[in-house]
Structure 1
Amino acid sequence: MRRRTFVATWAVVAALGLAGCSSSDQTASTAAVATAAKDVADGTGIWDESQLHEIGVEVDPDAVATMIDTYQSSGEKDWIEATVTIDGETYERVGIRLKGNSSLRGVSDDSDPADLPWMIRLDKFVDGQSLDGWTSFVVRSNNSETALNEAVALDLLAEAGLASEHAISTAFSVNGSDARLRLVVQDLDEEWEAENFSTAGLLYKSEASGDWSWRGDDPDSYTDVFDQETGDDDLTPLIDLLDFLNNSSDADFEAELASHLDVEAFARYLAFEELVDNFDDIDGPGNNSYLRYDATSGGFTVVAWDHNLAFGGSPGGGGGDGAGGPGGFPGGDGERPEGMPTDMPTDMPSPPADGQRPEDGMGGGPGGGGGPGGGSNVLVERFTAVEKWADLVEQAKADLTAELVDSGYAEEALAARVAVLTEQAGDLVDAATVQEEADAIRESLGG
């Protein structure tokens, strides 16, 4: 299944944008930026999704305990050293650390390391250490047993022509534990960026505790709000964008947004997240998104991240066993586990039964978005308030439904993932569970 690149048809945007515009508006409306996305082929080597891969971690239990204690007391995610074996190849002095936010809710000293979400970096302590040219691997949490929902969502995201991540099913173990079925995806780092984009740029990650408000021109004001992931440290393009999003008049926003943002790709992104029923997206409780600045065009594109709640998944932390009850904690009593940082909420609202977000969002700070209990985003709010762009989102959803669902591609992608689990991972998950969770995805897509 080859991944296709979506080519922005700016004639559509121009036709919508120029309708009713004055001549003075036309220059800004047509100065549109587009995403320099590349055609990304199916993964090979470690990212060959047709194979069940094996990852074994050997790490000092005392180091893990200290790392967890640090996270419980401060929220900091310290790196520790480990020996990691991937598909039979052993790597020494590998860096590992906890990865995630809501997926770490309920983590405690009793948590089984084999069930926790991890970031693995081969080159953290050994310069140049890599596998097939890749250095970073994210071991994801999921409230399902198969993680089919996230894997299939990423396949569809790529087929939609939007930047996605390779994702593989793995037999994952820590210190000789029984292997767990875990989904591992690419980290959005320099290697990922080079694979997905043809131009130089800067990649910024929205932090779960932050928002998209404009906080002035001082880069220090954006600490813990956005993290720069690639390129030389420079928050100037991001700050300029936030200034425009928060402070432009409605007329200027409508006339000039296309010179700041790949508008059609963003409409397609919003439509995609709705199609796969992903509650935890750019204006969900995790503030999940990246912004990529294209140094050639001077414009931004929104990059999707975190689809472990796709196809109607309900919020709930990993916390040790990957499952979450009502209120987001194992057991479902909504109580704060002992040792959990006191600034983290004890519950996270579930998506409404009709799949729509509440009209008043879910809290959030100025500029919208972000953080546990968040749920609004200034870009989404202002974008969808413009009729022509709201119409563009609806058209994109119809297009994606035809391209991904009606075409049979979604079923093909799902069947390929199911085959790997049923044929290669029978000792990790039973076939009935695979079928049940696959059927739930089909139902979500209207099958």
Structure 2
Amino acid sequence: MAIRRGPINALVLGLAALVGLVGCSSSGGVSASSSQMAATALTAGTVFDSSQVHQIGVEVNQDDVTAMLADYLSTGDKEWLTATVAIDGTEFDNVGIKLKGNSSLKGISADAAPQDLPWRIKLDKYTDGANLDGFTDFTVRANSTATSLNEAVALDLLRSSGLASEDAVESSFSVNGSDSQLRLVVQNLDEQWVTENFPDAGSDSVLYKAEADGNWNWLGADGDYSGSFDIEAGPDDYAPLIRLLNLVNNGTSDELAAQLPDLLDLNSFATYLAFEELINNSDDIDGPGNNSYLFWDSSTQKFRIVAWDHNLAFGQTPNGGRGDGGRPGGNMPSGMPSDMQGGNVPSGMPTDMPSGAQGGGQGGGPQGGAAPSGMPTDMPSGAQPSGGGQGGGMPGGGMGGNNPLVTAFEANSDWAALKDQAASDLQSGLIDSGTLTSSLDTWVSVVTSSGLVDESTITSEADAIRAYAS
């Protein structure tokens, strides 16, 4: 069956209009480059057409899944499995799938339901050239809400801010014939993503991923940094990263002022920091999940921080809405403490915080609550708050508010002023302009069309986001 085609996403047109109004800005303010807008427009009518709910069914040997989970809990290794995957009626055999995430996997058990887990699906892992509409690599995200509206809207706003973002769609997702769940599917960051988002970058540019259990410590010029930073695209070259870590860990304020502008796109980073505060996301580069990618552009010889993992955007908390949340048979699995079912606050967590604020971000949104130190940030449905092995318990890494790059940047009054200006630009361009509301309305329409989430849940979760527009 041929893949179903949908109408051009209305949000694409809205974003194009926004770009026409504000133009492209070299200051890192609210704008989108022509290359980023082109990448968005190309998704219309494809597997990443966000105007429709896509159908994704996975068939995988359950014994293999159980053995893989047991091995992950014992060793922390994420093994690739072979599966058959059908996407919008197009079937692919011999597809590679594996667990995706770090803090999202804390506390899973060996008998976790596969349809509840976060997955990476790579069509061409074992079959060269396998792709759908040119896309090969997909991430099935975990989220604390039933709708994933918070992450979907955050990614739209991220692109509207002029920063690199990821394509995302809502999907009706099932494994081995399970009941379908509404899951957000996000484009994985790889060589293809780099080409789409940084078409003018040098051929030997590098995309690093900061690992959730890693840190930004200085290990020496000959240290092994692979445990904290994984190379996702480009040559196996840690030299640019080592220079950056040396400077932010060991440089004096004068050295930082003189050298950091030559290593980091300051305007882009100011926009990134202001953006994460605006959407009240505590799980960013400076948060417990250490969530970020670092793109080293060999043509400019500068880093740009790439945002990743927005399932706690708009003040969401781990497991905040994954209880009965409108999913078919949506009760928490056996063994989950009753005070975490239905999104209730776990025992010991403050209860006097505004609705939707527990575990909120850095004060950038209306709630402004702070997540407890060490709290996992994106546990999937089926996860337990504690457990054995590598996958059990709370995250062992993450910055928790002590990222040396952020600290150095915010300590410089000139750079702090860039962030303040970016915050003002984002407020005007994303909130006051109605861009947030437009994005939210578009996604609400898509989620409602799925029939997989109760309308009352959709309304409740949308209203929590809509509050930020005021």
TM interval, short-chain normalised: 0.7 to 0.9
Deviates further, 102-111 or 64-73: 102-111
Per the alignment, residue 28 of structure 1 pairs with none
**Do the aligned residues in 1 keep the contact of 2:317 with 2:360 (CA within 8 Å)?**
yes
Letter in 2 for 1:143: S
Letter in 1 for 2:450: A
CA shift at 1:245, angstroms?
A: 1.4
CA distance in 2: counterparts of 1:320 and 1:59, whole angstroms: 26
The alignment partner of 1:222 has SS state of: coil
Per the alignment, residue 60 of structure 2 pairs with 59
Aligned-residue identity in percent: 50
Per the alignment, residue 154 of structure 1 pairs with 155
Q: Which of these residues, 421, 441, 446, is aligned with residue 395 of structure 1? A: 421
TM-score, normalised relative to structure 1: 0.83
Q: Which of these residues, 265, 274, 278, is aligned with residue 277 of structure 2? A: 274
Name structure 2 gaps, 5 residues minimum.
Answer: 1-10, 341-347, 350-357, 376-394
CA shift at 1:107, angstroms?
A: 1.2
Per the alignment, residue 9 of structure 1 pairs with 27
CA shift at 1:351, angstroms?
A: 4.6
CA shift at 1:216, angstroms?
A: 1.2
Name structure 1 gaps, 5 residues minimum.
Answer: 13-34, 335-345, 364-368
CA distance in 2: counterparts of 1:416 and 1:319, whole angstroms: 22
Per the alignment, residue 441 of structure 1 pairs with 465
CA shift at 1:370, angstroms?
A: 8.3
Deviations 1:273-325 (A, max 9, x none): 00000010001000000100001011100000000000001134999999999
CA distance in 2: counterparts of 1:196 and 1:387, whole angstroms: 31
For the pair 1:211 / 2:215, whether they are aligned, the reply is yes
For the pair 1:111 / 2:112, whether they are aligned, the reply is yes
Flag the 1:430–1:356 CA change in 2: closer, same or farther, 3 A: closer
After TM superposition, the structure 1 = structure 2 runs for residues 33-112 of structure 1, keeping only pairs within 5 Å, are 38-39=36-37, 40-42=39-41, 43-44=43-44, 45-112=46-113
After TM superposition, the structure 1 = structure 2 runs for residues 138-177 of structure 1, keeping only pairs within 5 Å, are 138-177=139-178
**Do the aligned residues in 1 keep the contact of 2:359 with 2:369 (CA within 8 Å)?**
no
Letter in 1 for 2:55: E
CA distance in 2: counterparts of 1:203 and 1:225, whole angstroms: 13
CA distance in 1: counterparts of 2:306 and 2:312, whole angstroms: 17
CA distance in 1: counterparts of 2:360 and 2:437, whole angstroms: 25
CA shift at 1:330, angstroms?
A: 3.9
Per the alignment, residue 306 of structure 2 pairs with 303
CA distance in 2: counterparts of 1:107 and 1:319, whole angstroms: 15
CA shift at 1:436, angstroms?
A: 1.0
**Do the aligned residues in 2 keep the contact of 1:111 with 1:321 (CA within 8 Å)?**
no
Flag the 1:154–1:304 CA change in 2: closer, same or farther, 3 A: same
Flag the 1:430–1:402 CA change in 2: closer, same or farther, 3 A: same
Flag the 1:218–1:357 CA change in 2: closer, same or farther, 3 A: farther
CA shift at 1:402, angstroms?
A: 0.5
CA shift at 1:214, angstroms?
A: 1.5
CA distance in 1: counterparts of 2:418 and 2:399, whole angstroms: 29
TM-score, normalised relative to structure 2: 0.79
Per the alignment, residue 337 of structure 2 pairs with 331
CA distance in 2: counterparts of 1:321 and 1:71, whole angstroms: 28
How many residue pairs end up in the alignment? 400
Deviations 1:329-361 (A, max 9, x none): 942679xxxxxxxxxxx99x9458962669x98
CA shift at 1:395, angstroms?
A: 1.4
Letter in 2 for 1:231: G
CA distance in 2: counterparts of 1:430 and 1:143, whole angstroms: 16
Letter in 1 for 2:170: S
CA shift at 1:7, angstroms?
A: 2.5
Per the alignment, residue 196 of structure 1 pairs with 197
**Do the aligned residues in 2 keep the contact of 1:136 with 1:186 (CA within 8 Å)?**
yes
Deviations 1:110-129 (A, max 9, x none): 21111110000001111111
Letter in 2 for 1:425: S
Flag the 1:332–1:196 CA change in 2: closer, same or farther, 3 A: farther
Per the alignment, residue 368 of structure 2 pairs with 355
CA RMSD of aligned residues (A): 3.1
